[in-house]
Amino acid sequence: MAHNTDVKADASAPPVTRILAEFVAMHPSRGWSDDVDAEARRTFQNWLGCAIGAARHPTAEAALAAVAELEPPPQATVLGRSERVDIANAAFVNGVMSHTFDFDDTHLKTIIHPAGPVASAALAVAERAGSSGRELVDAVVLGIDVACRVGNAIYPEHYDRGWHITGSTGMLGAAAACARLLRLSKEQTVMALGIAASQPIGVREQFGTMTKPFHPGAAARAGLMSALLARHGYTASMRALEAPRGLMQTYSTKCAWNEIDDALGRRFEISFNTYKPFACGIVIHPSIDGCSQLAAAHRLTADDIERIDLVVHPLVLELTGKRSPRTGLEAKFSVYHACAAGILFGRAGEAEFADALVTRPDVMALRDRVHATIDPAIDEAAADVTIACRDGRRLHLRVEHALGSLERPMSNADLARKFHGLVDPILGDARASALIEACGDLGAAADVRVLTSLARA
């Protein structure tokens, strides 16, 4: 992850977004000369004529045929809810939700979160088509391969420049997955990827707002629509990704073309996918992991513990050094809260960062007994944890790679525990268990709708 610090950034820009927004919201109606107003009507009339004139053109027919596939709207499941919407909107909303907690998955070579755009688009198309589970799994593997290979070719320059790489490669993965599920020909698939290449989503400035999870959702939708358009004969450049004014050279100065077909069909990028065990920034995962492991191994309760000492990389306190968080969001930036939660609850999922929990007296009391020291010599991936017990024991663990890293992947049991933590509050424990089973058997399912019907509220 060598980053290019040369990418220029001007932090002194005026508040352009606000200036334009205030102008749009506040400028008086017809607050301009008659000439301007006349030009507006001429512009409108000219636009209207151009649009009507093309109403029977093959371009219009293809666009309308793709749009017609979205009707009638109750087509696909919104996960965890009772609403059903058209497949494009299902892909969008499911993609948004899957990244809302920033708790999903990471292709560590590119920090792409690949399932958000790819699985969200694929499941919607598969549900509508009644695809088999095998077809869905195939589409997810291939779609993730496409997004991550493009990511490999442009990372890190593209990310450093400001793109949220999950959304700016995800529409290609989503298009690929949907093309596969719709059984598009090679030629149509070129077009699907080509149309998607005009729709990269997301800049990093949005981090911390709802528009961050918007990115995988919008990418899922864009990829899905690209595949539908291609199915109906809509055309794009056959070199939309690689041409001099194609996507990759337009949005990245690094284009390592060899990454596209290096061991293509032999090495699959999904093999490098990882899953977050803790619903917070990855930098404090080793500390949480160490605390949880010691507490579990020695069956510690809060009362057993005198003091917890962490030795960590300087970044940990720089990013997550908040001593006294008051809300769940603040707690995600507190190594103290996170470690206390790991010990008390044996996990640090989204629920353990709830507002109410952060201010619970027992949580606050244990949090205050956590102490952290920095050591520049310790690796970012590591943490050194010592728990001093009231009975005089000193328990020590050095975590070299946290749970959830490629070196120490989450086990299926870990993933099931995480799944229950997320799904039980929404659909109940029994449905969560049934869904885990359905995912495990997905490759054998005759129709993915057995799964989507379980995933609806």
Q: Is the backbone peptide bond immediately before 286 cis, with ω within 30 degrees of 0?
A: no
Residue 328 near a second copy by CB under 8 A: no
Q: Is the dihedral of CA 331, 332, 336, 342 positive or negative?
A: positive
Distance CA 369, CA 348 (A): 18
Q: Which of 427, 273, 433, 422 is nearest to 349 (CA)?
A: 422
Cα angle for residues 226, 228, 234 (degrees, 5° grid): 70
Among the listed residues 67, 317, 354, 389, the single contact to a second copy using CB under 8 A: 67
Shortest CB 20 distance to a second copy, Å? 5
Residues whose CB is less than 8 angstroms from the CB of residue 181 and which lie 6 or more positions away in sequence, other chains included? 122, 125, 126, 129, 131, 135, 136, 139
Find out whether 133 and 309 touch, Cβ atoms under 8 Å: no
Taking each helix axis as running N to C, give the angle between helix 58-68 and helix 211-231, from 0 to 180 degrees, rounded to the nearest 10: 120
Indicate which single residue of 75, 154, 169, 215 sits in contact with a second copy (rule: CB under 8 A): 215
**Binding string, 79-108, against a second copy, x = CB under 8 A?**
xxx-x-x---x--xxx-xxxxxx-xxx---
Near a second copy by CB under 8 A: residue from 2, 5, 6, 31:
31
For 375, which DSSP code? -
Residue 33, number of CB atoms within 10 A of its CB: 9
| Per CB under 8 A, 305 contacts a second copy | no
Q: How far is the CB of 178 from a second copy (least distance, A)?
A: 10
Minimum distance, C-beta of residue 401 to a second copy, in the bound complex (Å): 18
Q: How far is the CB of 196 from a second copy (least distance, A)?
A: 10
Pick 215 or 332: Cβ nearer a second copy: 215
- Only one of the segments 264-272, 293-301, 354-362, 368-376 lies at the binding site for a second copy (rule: CB under 8 A); that segment is 264-272
Question: Quick one: which segment of 235-243, 300-308, 328-336, 387-395 binds a second copy (CB under 8 A)?
Answer: 235-243
- Sequence-ordered alpha helix ranges (H) in 274-323: 285-297, 314-320
Which 146-205 residues touch a second copy, going by CB under 8 A? Answer: 146, 149-150, 161-164, 167, 172, 176, 179-180, 184-190, 192-195, 197-205
Residue 110 or 199: the one with the smaller Cβ distance to a second copy is: 199
Select 307 or 456, whichever has its Cβ closest to a second copy.
456
User: Which DSSP symbol is given to 193?
Assistant: H
- The rounded distance, in Å, linking the Cα atoms of 437 and 452 is 13
The C-alpha torsion from 257 through 258 and 261 to 263, rounded to 10°, is -160
Q: Between residues 14 and 361, which has the closer beta carbon with respect to a second copy?
A: 14
Q: Per rule CB under 8 A, is residue 353 in the interface with a second copy? A: no
Residue window 426-445: x/- pattern of binding to a second copy, with contact defined by CB under 8 A = xx-------xx--xx-xx--
Q: Does position 6 bind a second copy by CB under 8 A?
A: no
Q: How far is the CB of 361 from a second copy (least distance, A)?
A: 27
**To the nearest whole angstrom, how small is the minimum distance from the Cβ of residue 387 to a second copy?**
30
